[in-house]
Structure 1
Amino acid sequence: MEFAHRAGCGVARIWLTKEFRQRMAIEAGTWTQRSMLAPPADSDRGFWLAADHLLGGGLVREFGAEHLAIGAPGCGSWMRAEQVGLRRWSVTVNGPQDIWKEIQDLADRWRAARSPDHYRLLFDADGRQWAASECGRLSWHLPAPHLLDEGATS
């Protein structure tokens, strides 16, 4: 996949150019480390939905990669995590945004919220919308409906 958009935030696309995807795949990066922390699995859809809203920087996942690769084309940051053994990962990060740390921090919050796989849509008294896990430990505000309409026309 070469583009993404934030779920529920209109249809504006964030692009990963071919050159950016190539850099993510082959460059050495700012640092590489071995980790016993696995990234959340593709099947952890509740995590990835929360990540779409809670991790800033316009992150785009490169689904065509052989390993987990995520870029932030706005600032040029990217990360890749490749499994190199049983419960061992090689993690490479580049740029000012530490995407790996952000993913792991959110994964901790997601697990503390009992790894929700669905969220409730709630409305405040003033009409603001937000999504929350069943236990309420993981939540975020959603854009106002009139902002979605404006985003769809641009």
Structure 2
Amino acid sequence: MRPGQRVLDLGAGAAVTAAVACHICGDTGVVTLDRDQHIVVAAQARLGVLGYRPAVVSGSGEDGWPERAPYDRIFVSFALPCVPGALVDQLAPGGRMLMHITTTSPSWPALAVISRCPDGRVTSHLRAVEFAHRAGHGRKQIFLSAAFRERIAARSAGSAEARAFRSWMVARPDGAGTWTVTASGQRDIWAEIRETTVQWRAAGEPEVYRLDLAAAGNPR
């Protein structure tokens, strides 16, 4: 960030990111947004105590805030399954957006860096990270009941509940420095993991991956 840049902070939370943006860029070009109106009120109060008066608004983070677009920097503090096209559209030439991408599984979050070149072209890449915060709003959770966990532990997948999930895999340390893997269902999840590992090693174990954006702004 640099002084004078326009910043969109999505997921205001405790307003830490917004405060840093105001300190570096000046508060007149900063917009911080949160879905929860109570968080918006609290963030505005915290920023006011620090002497900052950015635009503090309530809305959907996936939609951004086009009223003040375009932005030189967009920070998304929560993970999403894809890159919202609306946010890409609000990125200024020369601008950059940082956000986490994840799936319904919490085991593989990645940091996406999306840049709009001065000529308007959009480039992006992914880098695996250890942690990403997933927003709870509208999130579909897979609930594993105690009974289902017991069936998995007993290596049984015959229940209707197990069939509903179709496939699962459990890895347990065997005490000898290796792991015992149990898999069940229509998909061989363990085989998929091994095949992905083979491809990754064959590619030189890259740390960064290219992220292609479809016309609507979603990764493909």
TM-score by length of 1: 0.41
Could you say which structure has the greater relative contact order, defined with CA pairs below 8 angstroms and 6 or more residues apart? 1
Between structure 1 and structure 2, the one with the greater Rg is 2
